[in-house]
Amino acid sequence: MERRNPYLILGIPFGTGRAGANAAFARRVKSLPADPAQARAWQTDLTWALQRIDAGPAAPEAEMGYYRMPADPGCGAPGEPGVFAPPPEPGPYDEAAVAAALVRLRAEAAREALRRELSRRSAQTPPPAP
């Protein structure tokens, strides 16, 4: 089992595509250590990592060979809506229809209240004398 992690070596989140891996490789190669031996070792690691990502499945979701960091595709961020994951767009609503429906609901609630109150008072009201 390969314990080295190409994503970790390149400093990119698990699931980054090949383009992202190439960009990370280019960035990292520019900042190699000054010590030539150390720089060579780093470059070997980076090259290995890039090759592994290139050789992996086209869809990173199917990759089973490397430890996933982050394990969650959202990079550990809470899965709430925002600019890049917008919530549903409900569209505009018909204000007149809403107003009319609200009037109806109020009237129904009023009638319901009246029914309850009338029933309550009825129970306390004997028939008047003839």
Partner 1 sequence: MAEWCRSCGGESTGDEVCGDCGVPLDPPAPGGERTVRGVLRRRSAPRLGGAPLGARRAAAIDLIAQGRPLPAELDLTDHEIAWYRAHAAVNGGDLTAALDQMAKLPETGYAARVGLLLSVFPALLATRDCWPAAVAVLAPFVSGSDDAAAMVAVLGRTTPDVVDVARRYAGRSFGEGRRARALTAYERAVTGEADSVPGDLVPLLAPALLDRLAVAGVLSDLPDGLPEPAATSLRCRLGLATAEQTAEAGFAAEAARRAYLTGEAPGDRLGDGPDVRHYRALHDYVTTRRLREEDLRPGAREVIRLTDAVTIGFAGRRSVPDEVAADPTTWPRLWPNAAQGKLYPADGVAQRHPRFVLWLELCTAYPALRGGLWPEALRIAGRVGEAAQDPALRAEARNVAAYAYWQLGRVDDALRELGEAKGAGFAVNAMLVASSRNAAAALPHLAQIMRLAEDDQLREAAVRRVIEHDEPSATLVAIIRAALDLTVDDDLHQQLLALSFRHDRAWLATAPLPARRRDDRYFQALAAYEEEPSTAGLGEIAAALADLWRRPGRPAWVETETRRLTAGLAGLPETVDALRAVETLAQAGMLSLADRIRYRAFAGARQIATAEWSPRLGRPLPGEAALARAVDEYWQRSGELEADVLATVEESLAEDVRWAALTIGNTAIRFWNAFDKRMATLAQSAGRTWEENQPNEAARRQLVKDLEAHVDRSERLLRLTDGLTVDPQFRKDMRAFHDKARTTIPYLRRRTV
Which residues ranging from 58 to 97 are in contact with partner 1 (CB under 8 A)? Answer: 59, 61-94, 97
Question: Between residues 37 and 89, which has the closer beta carbon with respect to partner 1?
Answer: 89
Q: Minimum distance from CB of 47 to partner 1 (Å)? A: 16
Q: Does 18 bind partner 1 (CB under 8 A)?
A: no
- Asked if residue 61 lies in contact with residue 15, where contact means CB atoms within 8 angstroms, the answer is yes
What is the DSSP track for 33-90? Answer: -SSHHHHHHHHHHHHHHHHHHHHS-SSGGG--SS--SSSSTTTT------SSSPPP--
Question: Between residues 55 and 64, which has the closer beta carbon with respect to partner 1?
Answer: 64
Q: Does 128 bind partner 1 (CB under 8 A)?
A: yes
Q: Does 105 bind partner 1 (CB under 8 A)?
A: yes
Q: Minimum distance from CB of 36 to partner 1 (Å)? A: 20
Contacts of residue 87, defined as CB under 8 A and 6 or more positions apart, other chains included, come to 81
d(CA 128, CA 116): 21
Question: Between residues 36 and 61, which has the closer beta carbon with respect to partner 1?
Answer: 61
Q: Does 36 bind partner 1 (CB under 8 A)?
A: no
